[in-house]
Structure 1
């Protein structure tokens, strides 16, 4: 009888945990708005306020968005991933959702109020999507601006984290991209073959800088994401590296 009672308790506890899990999975949605830029070819996929280069070549594809002031957070949100779905607009919404990476900034328009064209003005939470992503949410792209629900989700990336060497011998700049997990980076440290760990400073977007002289040394990186997780890539950059090259490290 005791074994049966224990089994019943375990089954009940499992069911309760599953119920809590289901509730958690369905929570976390916030409301905002979305528009689109470019055309069905994607358009304007080069560069942006996060410092990324060719988004197609770098693996981000067209699954990207420019974020309004409230969401962009001065570039701290670069690399974060969001699930987005059209919300509470039967005229335009279709079922389903998309997942995008934050790769750019949608600047505010001081000449327009937030309720009449200034979609990226504070305090609005707005996503400016590539047209191919936008049309997955609506019956017709003529919807223009749509209400959406959105939530942060883990980023899923192919391959390892990437480090692109930029700058000059006196001020080395490293672009960190293709970051999985939380996606957005809060700290980067570098270690040369002749140094200890050196904290880098965010220059802009996901470009991280140090004034230490590291040319001619093999380099290791520690990257910390916004969820506190840290990944170390030892000797990922060989001693004969050059500016303009990029290297693949470990991944979250």
Structure 2
């Protein structure tokens, strides 16, 4: 027996809504998350990315360790939207975190700071309830980092020794691309030297070039768009007599999505 079309419309509409919801969430990956038990409103100052105290307070303390997303340091500074999946406690927006450390716990993809963990809740009370659970189901996706009114800066580490060895971290990386290569260049001859990622977010070289210097960074969108790469050169230079512990503003910011 054939039914008029209007009899099928409610069911068809419900099916479309369901399919749309599945497609909308298709970019999220299901996983689990826990939190640093010894953290308060900050992350750890001993993270594998080697950010130190900066990494503990970066992004207002909404930071995380991750084993699978650390990627031998390439993932340092990457941002992710993380939202827990229990509708009773969890907000639909979740929280945006920055990767500052490597680690996992009981098969989790994220070990969040307590500030970030409670930030997934619908309210302060819901966030506190999440802490008592300690271990929750989540979904996550890569998103663009945003640091308004801040340029990329280079922090010369205390391990550097002028003029024989330079080592630095890259802070405030906006966008959603990875830094996969770094060059240290002379401003006069324009001769560049390819650096090594020693660990985490730290780049270094022995016998660096002399004179005023600038740092070129190669950004990549990664797979599957491996061809989407771009070099970024700062407008400001590192002085000839650079010093360990100093922070130098690049004067530029990459905003790629």
Q: Sort the TM-score into its range (normalised by shorter chain).
A: 0.7 to 0.9
CA contact under 8 A between 1:45 and 1:62: conserved in structure 2? Answer: no
CA offsets, 1:90-146, max 9 Å, x none? 454344311011011115xxxxxxxxxx42xxxx45111111111122421211100
The 5 A counterparts of 1:1-252 are 26-38=25-37, 41-55=40-54, 59-68=58-67, 70-87=68-85, 89-90=86-87, 92-106=89-103, 118-119=105-106, 124-138=107-121, 139=126, 140=129, 141-158=131-148, 159-166=150-157, 167-168=160-161, 169-182=163-176, 184-193=178-187, 195=189, 196-214=191-209, 217-227=211-221, 228-249=229-250, 250-252=252-254
Structure 1 residue 23, shift from structure 2 partner: 9.5
Structure 1 residues 197 and 187: CA distance shift in structure 2, 3 A: same
| Structure holding more strand per residue | 1
8 Å contact from structure 2 (residues 43, 64) kept in 1 = no
Tell me the alpha carbon deviations over residues 186-209 of structure 1, each in whole angstroms, 9 at most, x when there is no partner: 111111235501111111111111
Provide the C-alpha distance between the structure 1 equivalents of 2:177 and 2:171, rounded to a whole number of angstroms. 9
- Residue of structure 1 in register with 2:15 after alignment: none
Change (3 A) 1:24 1:210: farther
What TM-score do the two structures reach when normalised by structure 2? 0.74
Tell me how far apart the structure 2 counterparts of residues 162 and 244 of structure 1 sit (CA, whole Å). 13
Q: Output the CA distance in 1 between the equivalents of 2:239 and 2:35.
A: 41
Q: Is the 8 A contact 2:193 2:209 kept in 1?
A: no
Cα RMSD of the aligned pairs, angstroms, is 2.6
Cα offsets for 1:55-113 (capped at 9, x unmatched): 36874331110112x222222211111001111x3454344311011011115xxxxxx
| Separation in structure 2 between the aligned mates of residue 64 and residue 44 of structure 1, nearest angstrom | 6
What TM-score comes out, normalization by structure 1 length? Answer: 0.75
Partner of 2:10: none
**Structure 2 alignment gaps of length 5 or more:** 1-20, 222-228
C-alpha spacing 1:226/1:24, structure 2 compared with 1 (3 Å)? farther
Shift of 1:163: 0.6
Asked if structure 2 preserves the Cα contact closer than 8 Å seen for 1:79 and 1:185, the reply is no
Q: What are the ranges of 5 or more consecutive residues in structure 1 without an aligned counterpart?
A: 1-21, 108-117
1:71–1:125 contact (8 Å) kept in structure 2: no
Rounded to whole Å, the distance in 1 between the matches of 2:230 and 2:83 is 28
